[in-house]
Amino acid sequence: MSHAPFLPIQPTGLRPDQAALICRIARQRGGLAIAPTKIAFLEQRLSRRLRVTGHAEFDHYLDDLLRPGAEGEVDALIEALTTHTTSFFRERRQFDWLCSEGLPALVALGAGRDWRFMGWSAACSSGAELWTLAMVLDRFFSTGRGGSRWQVAGSDLSRAILERAARAVYTEDEIAGLPEDYRKAYLMRSRRRHHTAPLFRIGPELRRHATFHHANLVKSPPPLAAPADVVFLRNVLIYFDDSGREAALRHVLSPLRQGGLLFTGHTESLAPVPPSLVQVAPSTYRKV
């Protein structure tokens, strides 16, 4: 007797009213600004959620999503709609400016000497930005310029990506942007034989400086151990609507020290720039 092959259940198409509902939830709960007309994008991102939750139809999935107690799935839905693209030394000019201008000015104020310097990657994704910052800080402070005490914190909306950032394990492709001298100084190579492709891990001397926090920047800042001297808020504001952007900026600026620096992505605009900030370089601001 022959059996018909089992085929994966393909969700039926997303209707415009369902797309509008999903976008409303994403806006209200995550501050994400997604146009309801992006049906193909929504379908592609959400079909995995339907498979994981065992739904064949968006209708039934949305019914369950709206029931009390479905907060975990709402978080998973918002996570499925976010993008985690990142890389080491992304927009390198900002790190160069930080070394040549930003850090000497912050040390002159007392950072790293009178208090432990705090660097914060506010939407850290899988950690490339946070670990780049850690490497830059370690280099800077180990040359004896000013103090030597520093720490870094990473926060993100996605718990899964935050775990990856904390694990700090990367493939060859993921570390492509990392210069050779930084690789030598800060990476360990995996010795596990069953991996055909090598894996690299950030060394313990950097990892012991880092903490990680789950945070929705639109709702509140994470509980940092100390006010931040530097915050990287890059390539995340683009996903928010005006009120989400305004709220996220407020929550990022409140734990930033006076004199501290804010870095944003090159394609992002702060317009209007809040009165507490002055621009000191492209996509770089000082809190006054």
Q: What is the 3-state secondary structure (H, E, C) of the chain?
A: CCCCCCCCCCCCCCCHHHHHHHHHHHHHHHCECCCCCCHHHHHHHHHHHHHHHCCCCHHHHHHHHCCCCCHHHHHHHHHHHCCCCCCCCCCHHHHHHHHHHHHHHHHHHCECCCECEEEEECCCCCCHHHHHHHHHHHHHHHCCCCCCCEEEEEEECCHHHHHHHHHCEEECCCCCCCCHHHHHHHEEECCCCCCCCCEEEECHHHHCCEEEEECCCCCCCCCCCCCEEEEEECCCHHHECHHHHHHHHHHHHCCEEEEEEEEECCCCCCCCCCCCEEEEECCEEEEC
Q: Which stretch binds ligand SAM (CB under 6 A): 42-50, 76-84, 190-198, 267-275?
A: 76-84
Measured from the Cβ of residue 155, the count of other Cβ atoms closer than 10 Å reads 25
- Please report whether residue 85 would count as binding ligand SAM according to CB under 6 A: yes
We find the least distance from the C-beta atom of residue 126 to ligand SAM, in angstroms, to be: 7
* Contact residues for 127 (Cβ-Cβ < 8 A; gap 6+): 86, 121, 154, 164, 165, 166, 168, 202
- Please report whether residue 157 would count as binding ligand SAM according to CB under 6 A: yes
Q: Which of 61/89 has CB closer to ligand SAM?
A: 89
Q: Which of 134/218 has CB closer to ligand SAM?
A: 218
**Strand pairing class (117-121; 228-233):** parallel
Q: Which of 33/109 has CB closer to ligand SAM?
A: 33
- Please report whether residue 217 would count as binding ligand SAM according to CB under 6 A: yes
- Please report whether residue 284 would count as binding ligand SAM according to CB under 6 A: no
Q: Which of 107/237 has CB closer to ligand SAM?
A: 237
Q: How many residues bind ligand SAM (CB under 6 A)?
A: 24
Q: Which of 123/256 has CB closer to ligand SAM?
A: 123
- Please report whether residue 283 would count as binding ligand SAM according to CB under 6 A: no
Q: Which stretch binds ligand SAM (CB under 6 A): 101-109, 181-189, 191-199, 212-220?
A: 212-220
We find the least distance from the C-beta atom of residue 59 to ligand SAM, in angstroms, to be: 27
Residue 105's φ and ψ, nearest 5 degrees, are -70, -40
Scan residues 243-282 and list those touching ligand SAM (CB under 6 A).
265
Q: Which stretch binds ligand SAM (CB under 6 A): 42-50, 81-89, 95-103, 192-200?
A: 81-89
Q: How many CA atoms lie within 13 A of 125 on its CB side?
A: 18
- Please report whether residue 84 would count as binding ligand SAM according to CB under 6 A: yes
- Please report whether residue 123 would count as binding ligand SAM according to CB under 6 A: yes
We find the least distance from the C-beta atom of residue 219 to ligand SAM, in angstroms, to be: 8
We find the least distance from the C-beta atom of residue 214 to ligand SAM, in angstroms, to be: 9
- Please report whether residue 152 would count as binding ligand SAM according to CB under 6 A: no
Q: Which of 31/260 has CB closer to ligand SAM?
A: 31
- Please report whether residue 216 would count as binding ligand SAM according to CB under 6 A: yes
Residues that bind ligand SAM (CB under 6 A): 30-31, 82-86, 90, 123, 125, 129, 156-158, 161, 215-218, 234-236, 239, 265
